[in-house]
Amino acid sequence: MKKAFLLLFLMMSYCSNGQKLSGTWQGGSFITDPSNPITSSLHWVYLDITIIKGMIDGKMRHENNSEGQYYIYDIVGKVLENGHLEIKETRLGYKSKNAVPAIKQQFDFEFDTKKGYLLGRSIDNKSTLTLYKAAFNISENTPNILPLNQLAKFEQDLKDGLSSPEKRKEELRAFKFEPIYFEYDRDIIQSEYEAYLNEMIRMVKSHSDLRILITGHTDSDGSDAYNIDLSKRRAAALVHFFETHGLQPSRVEIDFKGEKEPVGKNDTDAGKQKNRRVDFRFI
C-alpha cells in the first residue's frame, strides 16, 4: 500500500513538473576557472525541454560571444525523486561558423518556487546557471537571441534579488501598501520598517515603468505652516532612504499634506499616532 502511494505521489510530481517546467528557458551561465578564481565569464544559455512522465528531451543552446558564435546540444534527462532535473548533453546538433563547442556537460537543475528561476549547476561544479521562462523556441539560425550587453543588466537583477519576469507580475499583484508611522514631531524612520521599504524598492526595480509617490502627513498639533514643513521632511526622509538603498531619484516623487488629510481623530492620542505617517502608491 505504501509503495503504491509513493508511486502515485511520484507520478503526480512528474506531471506537475512537466506542466510547469516544459518549454523554453533563457538566462545566464556563470563559468569560473577553478585554477584562477578571479577569472570568470558569463554568457547567454537557452534550455528547451519537454517533460513526459518524468523523462526529459530537448535542446540546449550556448552563445559564445558578441560575434554571433553559438552551438546547440541535444539533451536527455529525467526528473529525480527530490524534484531535481538531471540533464545530459548528448550530441552536438548545430554550431555556427567558427564556434568552438565546450565539452558535453551534465547538469542538475531545481526550480526556485519563490523567485521563479530554474537554477542549475554542472556536475563538475565549474558552472552555474540561472534561467527564466521564455516565450519562444530555440533557434538554430539566429546569431544572438538576446544582445550580449543585456547580460550585465541580468546579472545586476540577480544581485538586487529580483525574481524572474514571470514571477514579478505575481508579486506586483500581491503587493500591499502600508503606511509607516513616526514618533511625535520626528522625521526619523524607525528600523522596524526597513524590511518593508526594501521590499518596495525591489518591487520598483522589478518593473521599469513603476515609480513611487511618497506622501507625508502629520497630526494637528502645531501651526499649518509647521506641519506642512514636517510632512515634507518626513517624505524627504523616505526619498533619502530609497536613494541610499539603490533606488534612482527618477523613480521617486513626493507630496506633503501637513495635517489636511487625517485618517484618525486628532482629539485622541491613538488618532494622532495614525496621522503621523507617510503613505505610498505606485504611479
* Cβ proximity of 271 and 265 under 8 Å: yes
Give the DSSP letter string of 8-67: HHHHHHHHHHHHHH-EEEEEEEEEEETTEEEEEEEEEEEEEEEEETTEEEEEEEEE-STT
* Residue 41 confidence (pLDDT) above 60: yes
The CATH number of whichever domain residue 182 belongs to comes to 3.30.1330.60
All three cell numbers of 178, joined, read 502600508
* Residue 243 confidence (pLDDT) above 50: yes
Beta-sheet strand order (sheet of 180-181): 180-181, 277-282, 212-216, 252-256
What is residue 192's DSSP assignment? G
Whether 32 and 91 share a structural domain: yes
What integer pLDDT is reported at residue 139 of this predicted model?
A: 85
Phi, psi of 62 (to 5 degrees): -120, 135
Whether 99 and 26 share a structural domain: yes
Tell whether 153 is covered by a domain: no
Tell whether 170 is covered by a domain: no
Phi, psi of 22 (to 5 degrees): -65, 140
Range(s) of the domain holding residue 213: 175-282
Tell whether 158 is covered by a domain: no
Q: How many whole angstroms separate alpha carbon 107 and alpha carbon 88?
A: 6
Q: How many whole angstroms separate alpha carbon 7 and alpha carbon 1?
A: 10
Q: Position 169: which residue type?
A: K
pLDDT tens for each residue of 115-164: 999 999 999 988 999 999 998 888 888 887 888 778 888 989 999 999 99
The CATH number of whichever domain residue 91 belongs to comes to 2.40.128.120
* Cβ proximity of 249 and 239 under 8 Å: yes
Confidence of residue 30 (pLDDT cuts 50, 70, 90): confident
Whether 81 and 180 share a structural domain: no
Whether 191 and 143 share a structural domain: no
Whether 116 and 25 share a structural domain: yes
What is the average pLDDT value for the chain, to the nearest integer? Answer: 89
* Residue 3 confidence (pLDDT) above 70: no
Whether 7 and 100 share a structural domain: yes
Tell whether 95 is covered by a domain: yes
Whether 134 and 182 share a structural domain: no
Whether 98 and 11 share a structural domain: yes
Tell whether 197 is covered by a domain: yes
Whether 140 and 195 share a structural domain: no
Whether 143 and 188 share a structural domain: no
Give the predicted TM-score (pTM) of the model: 0.83
Tell whether 168 is covered by a domain: no
Whether 139 and 193 share a structural domain: no
CA 63 to chain centre: 23
Number of structural domains (the chain) is 2
Q: Which residues contact 207 (CB under 8 A, 6 or more apart)?
A: 168, 172
Whether 128 and 207 share a structural domain: no
Residue 116 region by backbone torsions, left for phi larger than 0, else alpha for psi between -120 and 50, else beta: left
Tell whether 163 is covered by a domain: no
